[in-house]
Structure formats: C-alpha cells, structure tokens
Chains A and B, each alone.
Chain A
Amino acid sequence: MTNVALTVNGVRHEADVEPRLLLVYYLRETLGLKGTNVGCDTSSCGACTILVDGQSVKSCTLLTAQADGSDVTTIEGLAADGELHPVQQAFHEQHALQCGYCTPGFVMATVSLLQENPSPSEEEIRHGLEGNLCRCTGYHNIVRAVEAAARAGA
C-alpha cells in the first residue's frame, strides 16, 4: 500500500491505496464520484477526462499514487453554488449531447482547452478535442457549445 493525499473538488482526502489503483477507480469507487465515466479503458476515448492541477488528463491512465499531492477536479466539482459552469451551461443550451456518456469527459477537456486558448477557431476546437470520442457522433453541437462557452468567457 502507498499513502496518498490529494485534493478532489476542493476537499482533501488521504488514503492508503494499492499502487496499481488507477485514479478513475479511486474517484468512482472510493470517493463515489461516478460522474467520471470509464469508456474504452485504453486512453483512447477520453470519457474519463478530469483535471489534474488544471490540465486535462485521462484518469484511466494515471495511477492514484502519481496524483499524490495534486489538485483534482472532476465534473462534480465544476458547478459552484448550484450554478452550472459556463461550459456545462453551453453544452446544455447547444444540446451538445445525445446519449451523454462522453459528456463529462468532453466538458472537462473543454475547460482545459479554453484555459489554454480562450478563443479557439473551429479548427482549433476540433484539434483540441481530439482526445475525446462521441460514439453518437454529436460533434457539430459539441463544437457549437465550445464556441458558445468561449464567447461567454468560460
């Protein structure tokens, strides 16, 4: 076992974990934060995307031990005081989801993208979301939502 201490959505957690425990399972099964989905489990689909120290990463390809000392944000940590985060609001308004399974990952990837590039072109949005798959192929509305979120200053 290895001891880790990390902050998840503003709350500090400390635990003894198996070294092989992937962060996504720590979040989902230990902390009960099931908004982060496991899709492909091979770092391809991006459904498990979260922020670690502000940057998008795939939590199925990160050991919990590697995240020791980090500041983690999951989809549950985005809304503040009952108000949707501007990216969540934009996904809602632009209907940027069909089945919704990929949505938490796309939202987190978008938050990271807009921090790096606050007003991306359509091409930059598509390039910037290459790490996420929507098997309903709902990409057009996702791109519209990212544009709307950028306009809203997300």
Chain B
Amino acid sequence: MIPAAFEYARAGSVEEAIELLGRDEDAKVLAGGHSLIPALKLRIARPSVLVDIGRLEGLSYVREDGDVVAIGALTRHAALVRDPVLAARCPLIAHAAELVGDPQVRHLGTIGGSLAHADPASDLGAVALVLDGELVARGPNGERTIPMTEFFTGPFTNALGPQELLTEIRVPTVERGVYLKYQRSVRDWATVGVAAAVVDGRVQVGLASMGATPLRASAVEEALAGGASPADAAARAGDGTEPPADVNASSEYRAHLARVLVRRALEQL
C-alpha cells in the first residue's frame, strides 16, 4: 500500500514545527509514525504536508520535577519501559508501555504521538487519564497546560489547536497502579483495557475501548469512594459508557470484559 503524495518537512526546532504547521491547514505532525503511517497507507489520512518532529532534540526524557514526573512527548515506548525514574515514581506507565504493540513498534512509537492520536482504544490514554496527568502544549501564542481529563474531545480528536504541538506529559508520583487489557493478539488494539491507580489516596479507574475516547470509570470511582467493595464497584464498570461493537466484540461483551477486568485490577491494586 502506497500513501497518497504529500510534502515532507523536517522541523529543526519546536518553533520551526509550529511555523511549518501554520503554513497549511492540512499539515499533520509526524512523530514515530506508528499510528499515522498505517493511516496514510490506507489513505484514511491524506495530509498535504507532514511536519516531521521525530528527530527534535530535547523532547525525549523522563525527569523528576518536584512532586511531578515530566515525560518528553517524543520519548519512545521502549525507553519508557526501562526508565529508572518511572520504575521508582510511576511504574504504571512503564508497565503499560510494555503492552503497547510489539518490540518493533515500541522502538519507534512515542508517548506524545500515542496520546495526540487520541485513539479510543489507547492504552496510554487510559493510563494518563487515570493518573490525572497534565499535558504541556506549545503554539504560536506560547505554552499552555491542558488537564488530561479535558484532552480527548472525540474519536481521534484532541484539544490541541491546529498549530499546537504536544511537548510534555506530566503525571504525579503514583506508586500503586495496574493496567490490564484483553486482546485477541498482541498486535490488536485492546478489546478492553483497564487502568487503576491510587492517586492522592483515592482509587481512580480508566477504560480503553469503551466509548468514543479513553474514559474514566466514574461510576466505579464513586462507588469505591462511598465504601463499596471492589466486586460491587466493578459491577458498575459499564455504567455511563457506550462501548463500540466490531469484529472483535459486541457492546455487551465489552461491558462484561470491563466489569471483569476492573474487578481484577482493583483486587491487584
């Protein structure tokens, strides 16, 4: 499969990338390319210009910043898996990153690209939501911070402006976290993914592939906060969701998987 023709521009800096994105309304950002290039090959995506940020210096890092762990948007999944700061401060991200795709995909795919792609089945999307993370974006008017809970706006759409670039993911120190997913094979998207973590003493639960975007399982969180047992809270995992139906699973089956996986995740937490 051959992508439709496009122009290619490699950005030498974040500022240059922002400027290049401003030149054409159909421009698209290319990072690791492991969501975008398959879409180009299927001609689902037909951008006029690809702005390649894959080689930008200084956007691949994991570092402690006070109580927060700051992750550069271009950090590859493989680097997340073996990062010592994440192992100590937020092992949930490293664990979930190891379940993304396969080794070759993890060598190129980036955390920022994965989040910005805003796939409803995104493993790291569910994880970032459950951690109550924040995203740092830079655009022509400077830098702003977007709460993770406001980032996903629909399937494959996010809160970034057309000229904004996601530069950093910020998450709190969270020692206890679990990510479980059910999938037919490792290269399939999560049929259902469940992230659970204890953030500031509160149990938070996130879902992948249970609606138009990665979601927080609000009904489960409220039940737990009200003193429900893990099993009783998990029974509410499908409440308020609209799980899709496709070749892998019916909506009802996804809701069943969510209840089972949330119960297991809460028991493991």
Using a CB–CB distance below 8 Å, which chain A residues touch chain B?
Answer: 2, 18-20, 22, 41-44, 46, 49, 55-58, 61-63, 65-66, 68-69, 109, 112-113, 128-131
Contacts and interface: CB of A to CB of B under 8 A. Distances in A.
Interface in B1-58: 1-8, 10, 30, 33-34, 37-38, 40-41, 50, 52, 54-55
A55 B54 contact: no
Contacts of A129: 103
B187 interface: yes
A89 B78 CA distance: 28
Interface of B: 1-8, 10, 30, 33-34, 37-38, 40-41, 50, 52, 54-55, 78, 101-105, 107-108, 186-187
B5 A18 contact: yes
Given A42-B38, A61-B38, A65-B10, A20 B105 contact: no
Contacts of A43: 34, 37-38, 104-105, 187
A49 B187 CA distance: 15
A28 B70 CA distance: 41
A63 B37 contact: yes
A97 to B, nearest CB: 19
B104 A109 contact: yes
Nearest to A68: B10
Contacts of A65: 8, 10, 52
B103 A61 contact: no
B187 A63 contact: no
Contact of A57 (B38, B55, B108, B186): B108
Contacts of B37: 22, 43, 61-63
| Chain A CB within 10 A, most for which of B1, B4, B37 | B37
A67 to B, nearest CB: 10
A150 to B, nearest CB: 16
A133 B159 CA distance: 37
